[in-house]
């Protein structure tokens, strides 16, 4: 069977319309047998018909640390792999650099400065949400000159509030830290997607520019890798690249 790109990747409609950007989160069909990261990146580049000048990712550790690879710092290097340790959000304004994060239930957050062409990918599980990594990622973009009003955000496929039950102690910790976001905490069920939405709104991203994938990775384990559904090695690859100006 031959699959089309739309079977292999979930995308945000608003971001898909941007001519300078490629983005998406992979379904299981993209890579039915979990393999090596580099093979997956090559597969994705081929699917998009691009030859990236480099790849940008991190050794994710559920931190709230953010890395930004600026065009100027990238150009003098001859290396093509930009890999950050102990970091859970990676961004760049360099063209043709494939930026990626890997998740299985945690929330992939795409932050795209549509005016200045800066991209950021965030891995936000409960630790990331508690540490407000999406806020820190946005702040990193603003230090390079991004206005939050120019940011389009997409919360990709992740575990839904339906399936994300945590301990009473942890739910209490979220309630104490985010008393204004209580609608994202339903008893012991956390709505991680909504927490990221609220955090982004609280720092100036416009509600109309924040889009959320409805997919719950655990409910739709047929489509996505889900840690809580028992996938220990398969991961959803979320990636974006700024296409070079022709």
Nearer residue to Zn ion within complex by CB, 21 or 216: 216
Q: Least separation, in Å, of the C-beta of 218 and Zn ion?
A: 5
Nearer residue to Zn ion within complex by CB, 160 or 234: 160
Binding region for Zn ion (CB under 5 A) out of 57-65, 67-75, 213-221, 234-242: 213-221
Question: Which among 34, 186, 25, 171 has a CA at the least distance from the CA of 106?
Answer: 25
Q: Least separation, in Å, of the C-beta of 219 and Zn ion?
A: 3
Q: Angle at Cα 228 formed by Cα 55 and Cα 32, nearest 5°?
A: 50
Binding region for Zn ion (CB under 5 A) out of 11-19, 48-56, 87-95, 214-222: 214-222
Nearer residue to Zn ion within complex by CB, 140 or 221: 221
Parallel/antiparallel/unpaired status of strands 54-59 and 81-85: parallel
Q: Least separation, in Å, of the C-beta of 160 and Zn ion?
A: 4
Q: Angle at Cα 142 formed by Cα 55 and Cα 82, nearest 5°?
A: 15
Nearer residue to Zn ion within complex by CB, 14 or 165: 165
Report the C-alpha gap between 54 and 52 in whole angstroms.
5
Contacts of Zn ion in 124-183 (CB under 5 A): 160, 162-163
Question: Which among 141, 102, 121, 144 has a CA at the least distance from the CA of 15?
Answer: 121
Contacts of Zn ion in 41-100 (CB under 5 A): none
Three-class secondary structure of residue 131 per DSSP:
coil
Q: Least separation, in Å, of the C-beta of 193 and Zn ion?
A: 11
Report the C-alpha gap between 217 and 196 in whole angstroms.
17
Q: Least separation, in Å, of the C-beta of 159 and Zn ion?
A: 7
Nearer residue to Zn ion within complex by CB, 113 or 191: 191
Q: Least separation, in Å, of the C-beta of 84 and Zn ion?
A: 31
Contacts of Zn ion in 216-235 (CB under 5 A): 216, 218-219
Q: Least separation, in Å, of the C-beta of 63 and Zn ion?
A: 26
Nearer residue to Zn ion within complex by CB, 100 or 190: 190
DSSP result, 24-91: EEE-GGG-SS---HHHHHHHHHHHHT---SEEEEEE--S---EEEE-HHHHTT----EEEEES-SEEE
Q: Which token pair is 141? A: 């973009």
Nearer residue to Zn ion within complex by CB, 110 or 215: 215
Report the C-alpha gap between 198 and 140 in whole angstroms.
18
What is the contact surface with Zn ion in residues (CB under 5 A)? 160, 162-163, 216, 218-219
């Amino acid at each position: 069977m031959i699959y089309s790109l739309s079977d292999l990747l979930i995308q945000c409609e608003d971001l898909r319309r941007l001519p300078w950007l490629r983005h998406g989160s992979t379904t299981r069909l993209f890579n039915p047998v979990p393999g090596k990261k580099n093979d997956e990146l090559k597969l994705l580049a081929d699917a998009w018909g691009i030859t990236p000048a480099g790849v940008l990712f991190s050794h994710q550790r559920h931190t709230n640390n953010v890395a930004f690879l600026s065009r100027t710092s990238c150009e003098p290097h001859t290396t093509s792999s930009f890999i950050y340790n102990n970091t859970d959000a990676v961004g760049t304004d360099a063209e043709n650099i494939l930026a990626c994060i890997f998740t299985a239930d945690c929330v992939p957050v795409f932050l795209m400065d549509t005016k200045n062409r800066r991209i950021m990918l965030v891995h936000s599980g409960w630790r990331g949400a508690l540490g407000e990594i999406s806020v820190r990622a946005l702040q990193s973009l603003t230090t390079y000159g991004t206005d939050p009003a120019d940011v389009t955000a997409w919360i990709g496929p992740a575990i839904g509030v339906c399936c994300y039950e945590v301990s009473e102690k942890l739910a209490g910790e979220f309630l104490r830290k985010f008393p204004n976001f209580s609608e994202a905490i339903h008893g012991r069920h956390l709505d991680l997607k909504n927490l990221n939405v609220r955090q982004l709104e609280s720092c100036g991203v416009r509600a109309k520019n924040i889009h959320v994938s409805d997919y719950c990775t655990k409910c739709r384990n047929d489509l996505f890798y889900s840690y809580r559904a028992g996938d220990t090695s398969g991961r959803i690859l979320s990636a974006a690249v700024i296409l070079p100006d022709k």
